[in-house]
Amino acid sequence: MVLAISPSLPPCNIDAGLQKIHSFLLIHLKECTGMTQLKQIHAQALRSTSPHHPSTLLVFSRILQFSSLTDLDYAYRVFDQIENPNSFIWNTLIRACATKVVTKDQAIILYRKMLEQGLVAPDKHTFPFVLKGCAYLFALAEGKQVHAHALKLGFGSDVYVNNSLIHLYGSCGCLDLAEQVFDKMPERSLVSWNVLVEAFVQFGEFNRALKLFNEMQDSFDPDGYTLQSIISACAGLGALSLGMWAHAYLLRKGDVDASTDVLVKNSLVDMYCKCGSLELAQQVFERMTERDVTSWNYMILGFAMHGKAEEALEYFAQLVRTESFKPNSITFVGVLSACKHRGMVTEGRKYFEMMINEYKIKPVVEHYGCMVDLLARAGFIEEALDLISKMPMRPDAVIWRSLLDACSKTKASIQLSEEVARQIFESEFNIGSGVYVLLSRIYAAANRWDDVGLVRKLMSDKGIAKEPGCSSIEIDGIAHELFAGDTSHPQTQQIYKMLDVIDEKLGSFGYSPDHSQAHMVDEHDDKSREHCLRLHSERLAIALGLLRLQPSMPIRVFKNLRVCNDCHEVTKLISKIFCVEIIVRDRTRFHHFKDGSCSCMDYW
C-alpha cells in the first residue's frame, strides 16, 4: 500500500487539511494488516502532521497500539516520538509489556517512569496491567506499593483493580491478603470469585475453595473456569461425589466455552483418577471429541498411580501411534511412574533411554527420581547410587528419601541406610520429619530400639515434629478428617467401638501386629505400640466408613502419609472380613483392597 498525500496545503486551510489527513490516516490504520503497511502510515504521519495538532496524538496512539501487538521494540520507538503522551498511550505500552512473558518487568519499569515524569496520573486502566506484571514476577513488595497508589488515587472500589489485586496476592501465596481484598469489595464480578477460588486451589486450600464456591452460587452461576477450579479442588480432597455433581452440572448446562472445554474435560479426567474412579476417568477420556497431550498424560499418570502399569504403557503406545502430537516430559514421568509402581526394571530402563535418545527429552529431577526409586526398590541399590552420581543436577531431598525408603523396604544393610541418611542430613534441603521417621523405622525393624530413641532425641533437639497422620473420608457429600488418635469427631465413641469389633475379628484371623511400625512412641512395651497402631488415621476413617456407608459401597480413604506395613496388612484383612472394597490413596499411590488382597501386590 502506498499513500498519496498532498505535500502542501494553502495556509488558510492548514487546520482543516490536517484534520483531513488525520482522518485519512486513521481509516488506513483500521485497514492495516501488517508492520510493512504500518511503517508506511507512520512515515506519512511524520511528514504530513503537526506535533501540536490535537488529533495528531490520536494518530500516533493508534500507531503505537497496533505496533505494540506485533513489534514491541517498534512500539517503544513510536512512544519516544510522542510529546506528552496521555494515560491511554502509557496504558497501551504497559499493557503490551504485561501480556508478554519476556517483558513483564518492563510494565513495572514503565509505571515507575510514568510516576517520575508526573505529567499524567495513572487511571483505573493502568493498575490492572501493572499488577499483572507484578503477579507474574511474584513482585510482592512492588505490588503492595501499586496497591497503595491505587487506594491513594481513589480506585479502591474499582472491581477490575481489585480483581487484579486478588490475582497478585493469590499468585504470591498471600491468601489471607487476597481474601481481605475480596471481602472489602463493594461490588464483585464472577471473575472476582474465580480468581480467589483458583488461588485457594493452587495452594492446596481445597476446603476454603469449596466453601467459597458454595457462597458464590447465591450470586453467580459457575462458568467453565469456576468448574475447572472446583474439579481440581475435588481432586485434591478426593471428594468424588462433589466432583460428580460438578460434572453433572457441566452436562446440564452444556454451554461451556469451546476455549475451556478441553481444559475442563482434562480436569475431570484428573479428578476421577485422583478420586479413585479410573472407570469414570476413562469414560470422560474416550468421549472427548478433542484431546491434547495433557489429556493423554492424565490417563497415563492415573493408571500409574493406581498400579495399572500395563494399561499406562498401552495408552502411551496409543498416543505414539494415533495422535499428531508427541509425548512430552510429563508423559515420561507417567510412564516411568507406572514402571516404578510395579517394579518393571527392564521396561523402565527402556523408556528412560527412549525418552533421551528417540524423543530428545532432557531428563529432569522427576525422571531421575522415578528411576532411582524403581532401581532401589527392586534391589538394584548400587545402580541407583551410580545413576545419582551421574545426574547433571544436584539430587534433591526427595531422591535421597526415596533411596532411604527403598533401603527400609529391601532390608538393605544398616550401614548403607545410615550412609544415605548422612547424605540427606548434610544436604541444604529442608528435609522435614520424613527422613527421621524412615531411619527410625529401619532401626526399629532391626530391633535397635536405643538407636530409635537417639533419632527421636535428635528430632526433639532440632525442634522437628513428626507430621501427624491425617485421613479423610467422604460420606453423604461431606469430607470427614480424622487424625491419628483423634477424639474430636462427633461419632468418636462409635468409631472406637467399631475398632474393638475390628480388633476382635482380626485376632480370629491370626493377625499379629508389626510393632516396628509404631517406632515413634514414647513407650517401649509392645502393648503401647499395638495401641498406637490401632489409632492410625486410616483405621479410624475405615471404622467410620464401616459405620456410615452402605455395605455395597466402597470405602474411599485419602491419607497424607504413606501407608505403613501394619495398616496395609490390616486393611487387606478388613476387606476380607467385612466383604468390602477399600480404596486408599496415600502420599504416592492408590491401593485397592478387596477379598484380602491389594492391587499393589504388596509392592509399594
Question: What pLDDT score does 8 carry?
Answer: 43
**Above pLDDT 90, what percent of the chain?**
49
Beta strands in 421-529 (DSSP E): 470-475, 478-483
Q: Where are the domains of the chain?
A: 1-83, 383-467, 470-598
Question: What pLDDT score does 271 carry?
Answer: 96
Interval 553-585: pLDDT, tens: 999 999 998 898 899 999 999 999 999 999 999
Taking the whole predicted model, whether its pTM rises above 0.75 is answered as: yes
Question: What pLDDT score does 525 carry?
Answer: 59
Q: Which residue has the cell 480506585?
A: 155
Residue 108's SS3 state is helix
Question: 107 to each of 26, 155, 159, 172, 222, how far by Cα in Å?
Answer: 27, 19, 21, 18, 32
Question: What pLDDT score does 5 carry?
Answer: 39
75 near 68, Cβ under 8 Å? yes
- Extract the residue ranges of the chain whose pLDDT is less than 70: 1-33, 37-38, 41-42, 44-61, 63-68, 101, 254-260, 411, 428-431, 516-529
C-alpha cell at 491: 461419632
Residue 323's SS3 state is coil
Determine the Cα–Cα distance for residues 457 and 255; give it in Å rounded to an integer.
Answer: 60
Q: Which residue has the cell 490413596?
A: 585
Interval 40-90: pLDDT, tens: 766 766 666 655 555 566 666 676 666 667 777 777 777 877 778 888 888
Question: What pLDDT score does 478 carry?
Answer: 85
Question: What pLDDT score does 21 carry?
Answer: 64
C-alpha cell at 208: 476454603
Question: What pLDDT score does 337 carry?
Answer: 97
Question: What pLDDT score does 12 carry?
Answer: 44
